[in-house]
């Protein structure tokens, strides 16, 4: 049992998530994490991955012993502070793989076959004037996956039927039937398409820099479904503007929901508004898993998906 109003809900939640929350618990809401904390005896926080939880908020609420975030990524949490104060944390891995992988494959196909431009071409009646430009086939390409965790492995399996070669990099080699490259530069060099599926952490911060983009080369494509911070956006903009790579599909940006204006004015990009997990089914599953973690915490049970910090 989760005591009534013991959970502070921080950030804006879409309606579909709020409905799941309201079915199972009674929370008090704080829309802006920098805002004034409402009165209450809060012992847990429920948030989501687009909301940064500042250390200062937790300092104002010393009674909080648990933070449950809806999202597989937990770069929105002040991990050092949580660890130093023995505050538990949970995320929602696994339940969003289907949605995220489906989006990644959709973006990949759309980027290579220029589906959105093809639709604009038909709608603008340009078809009657000249044929649409030739595009490129996915089959036969080498797809490099940066980050062979749950999502990376799920993605690799789903890509196999497309007759591609799969390679990867990550902190360590795994027992997988794919070529491993110890560095992101070597992976980029070997890949026609580089897909980012790694967590945002100090090791991956701005990992996709000018050198990596040069290694990907003028025929190479980048797909980012991870986090904006993994890419050096200055370097990516130069690479796109100067055709040092063929194109990029980006679901995530450093500054969300206001990505750099330059991205909006480039032709060889496909841009989506961080919708990897944004299906009704997935958001319901994520919300319920986050609440399962809160329930376990209040029942003094092991958390189903604890962030081991
Ligand atoms: C995640 O789970 O981290 C996703 O980015 C949320 O949509």
Q: How confident is the model at residue 273 (pLDDT cuts 50, 70, 90)?
A: very high
Nearest atom, ligand 1, residue 276 CA: 7
Task: Kindly report the protein residue whose alpha carbon is nearest to atom 6 of ligand 1.
Answer: 71
- The 10s digit of each residue's pLDDT in 34-71 is 999 999 999 999 999 999 999 999 999 999 999 999 99
Mutation choice for ligand 1 from 13, 49, 282, CB with most ligand atoms inside 8 A: 49
85 pLDDT tier (thresholds 50, 70, 90):
very high
Atom of ligand 1 nearest to the CA of 73: 3
Q: Whose CA is nearest to atom 7 of ligand 1?
A: 277
Distance 106 CA to ligand 1 centre (A): 17
160 a catalytic residue: no
How does pLDDT run across 86-138, given as a tens digit for each residue? Answer: 999 999 999 999 999 999 999 999 999 999 999 999 999 999 999 999 999 99
Note the pTM of the prediction, 2 decimals.
0.96
The whole-angstrom separation of Cα 307 and Cα 299 is 18
For the chain, the average pLDDT equals 97
Answer yes or no: is pLDDT of 1 > 90: no
pLDDT at 309 over 90: no
pLDDT given for residue 62 in this prediction:
95
> Residues near ligand 1 with C-beta < 6 Å?
49, 71-73, 96, 276-277
Q: What is the mean pLDDT of residues 150-173?
A: 98
Atom of ligand 1 nearest to the CA of 74: 3
Q: Is 256 a catalytic residue?
A: yes
Tens of pLDDT along 173-228? 999 999 999 999 999 999 999 999 999 999 999 999 999 999 999 999 999 999 99
């Amino acid at each position: 049992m989760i005591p009534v109003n013991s959970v502070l809900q921080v950030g804006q939640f879409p309606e579909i998530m709020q409905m799941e929350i309201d079915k199972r618990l009674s929370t008090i809401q704080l829309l802006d994490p920098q805002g004034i904390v409402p009165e209450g005896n809060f012992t847990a926080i429920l948030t989501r991955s687009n909301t940064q939880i500042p250390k200062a908020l937790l300092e104002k609420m010393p009674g909080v012993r648990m933070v449950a975030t809806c999202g597989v990524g937990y770069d929105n949490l002040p991990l050092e502070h949580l660890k130093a104060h023995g505050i538990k944390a949970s995320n929602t891995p696994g339940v969003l793989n289907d949605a995220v992988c489906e989006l990644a494959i959709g973006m990949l196909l759309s980027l290579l076959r220029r589906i959105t431009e093809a639709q604009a071409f038909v709608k603008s009646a340009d078809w009657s004037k000249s044929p649409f430009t030739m595009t490129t086939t996915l089959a036969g390409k080498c797809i490099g996956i940066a980050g062979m965790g749950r999502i990376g492995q799920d993605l690799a399996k789903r890509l196999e039927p497309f007759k591609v070669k799969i390679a990867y990099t990550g902190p360590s080699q795994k027992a997988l039937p794919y070529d491993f490259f110890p560095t992101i530069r070597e992976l980029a060099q070997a890949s026609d398409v580089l897909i980012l599926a790694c967590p945002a952490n100090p090791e991956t911060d701005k990992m996709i820099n000018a050198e990596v983009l040069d290694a990907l080369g003028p025929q190479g494509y980048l797909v980012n479904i991870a986090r904006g911070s993994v890419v050096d956006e200055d370097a990516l903009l130069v690479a796109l503007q100067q055709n040092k790579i063929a194109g990029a599909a980006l679901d995530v940006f450093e500054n969300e929901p206001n990505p750099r204006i330059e991205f909006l004015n480039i032709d060889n990009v496909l841009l989506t508004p961080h919708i990897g997990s944004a299906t009704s089914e997935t958001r319901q599953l994520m919300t319920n898993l986050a609440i399962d973690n809160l329930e376990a915490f209040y029942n003094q049970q092991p958390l189903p998906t604890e962030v081991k910090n």
